[in-house]
Structure 1
Amino acid sequence: MSATLQIRDATPVLLVRDVVKAAAYYTDKLGFNVERFWGDPPMFTIARRDGVSVMLNQVDAGDSFRPNDYDGRFSLYLDVSDADALHAEFAAQGADIVCAPEDQPYFMREFQVRDLDGHLLGVGHDISGKN
């Protein structure tokens, strides 16, 4: 392995039923920005906020697609500077908040929000005092 070779980032790809509606939710409720769609009709977009990207990929109508049932597993986790402030922002915009911010035994203060397709997003900040 080369000393200069690095993996610099990872971008989640979430499967959605309707990419236009999903993009509107990420924009209107979660404060992301969507600049363009790909496909005719639209099938793909990238939502961005503060240097973080989330790809939204629409499944074909005939594909079997089951949104995440609540089982406590996150589709993605957002490491943020202030979970309480972001919770307040999301709540004010009408996002589907699953639970309010709480301190976790693994030294994160976090809350959960769900998108239109049932994807569970964890949102939290470090409370270990090591940052």
Structure 2
Amino acid sequence: MNTPINTTGSTIIPSLRYRNALAAIDWLVTAFGLKKQAVFVAPDNKTVQHAQLTLGPGMIMIGSVDNGGEAGKFMAQPDEIGFRETQGAYLVVPDADAIYATAKAAGAEMIIDIRDMDYGGRHFSCRDLEGHMWGIGTYNPWQQESSQPKPESAIEHAQESARR
């Protein structure tokens, strides 16, 4: 399950907590195509002390809400705060429509339907099985594809649209 460290990945790695982290990990693998890189489970075989899921060079860390860590007392689950979010995760995928279909089949609540974005790429947003918000799309801010507008042209496009 453990693989070598990917030194080409991002140095900013989101972390989410779940009440049933084992079920969440399986759901994220099924719905979004994430891969289990490492999963450390407590002796009770229920509590996830720490897990690492990857998608290409990207990673997200997962843990159980009640894993005994100090940070847990500073965090709230989406249902405890009216399903509002103070942060979110974005997955860059080659085919947003395919992930939309698997996420929907896995029971994701679609909150922003799939569409082409003004700044490039195709995107949708959904909630997972415990209410965390995820953005999924083809737009990759690390690559300046010819189909993606340059930041200046995206700003100009938005300003032009606002004038109409």
Match of 2:21 in 1: 19
| CA distances 1:75-128 after superposition (whole Å, capped 9, x unpaired) | 111122222232123223443333321123333421012112211111112397
Contact 2:89/2:134, CA 8 A, preserved across alignment: yes
Match of 2:53 in 1: 47
Separation in 1, partners of 2:106, 2:36: 17
State TM-score, norm by structure 1.
0.72
Is it true that 1:96 corresponds to 2:102 in the alignment?
no
- Specify the code of the residue in structure 1 equivalent to 2:62: L
Contact 1:19/1:43, CA 8 A, preserved across alignment: no
Contact 1:108/1:128, CA 8 A, preserved across alignment: no
In terms of mean alpha carbon deviation, does 101-110 or 66-75 score higher? Answer: 66-75
Higher helix proportion, which one?
2
Bigger relative contact order, structure 1 or 2 (CA pairs below 8 A, ≥6 apart): 1
Separation in 2, partners of 1:19, 1:92: 20
Mark the runs of 5 or more structure 1 residues left unpaired by the alignment.
Answer: 1-5
Tell me the percent identity. 26
- Aligned pair count reads 126
Separation in 2, partners of 1:96, 1:58: 22
> Any residues of structure 2 matched to 1:73-112 within 5 Å, and which?
75-112=88-125
| CA distances 1:39-61 after superposition (whole Å, capped 9, x unpaired) | 41432211223333211122228
State TM-score, norm by structure 2.
0.60
Secondary structure of 1:29's counterpart equals: helix
Mark the runs of 5 or more structure 2 residues left unpaired by the alignment.
Answer: 1-6, 140-144, 150-164
Is it true that 1:129 corresponds to 2:147 in the alignment?
yes
In terms of mean alpha carbon deviation, does 113-122 or 84-93 score higher? Answer: 84-93
Contact 2:120/2:148, CA 8 A, preserved across alignment: no
Root mean square deviation of aligned Cα = 3.2
Separation in 2, partners of 1:56, 1:33: 12
Q: 1:25 to 1:8 in 2, by over 3 A?
A: closer
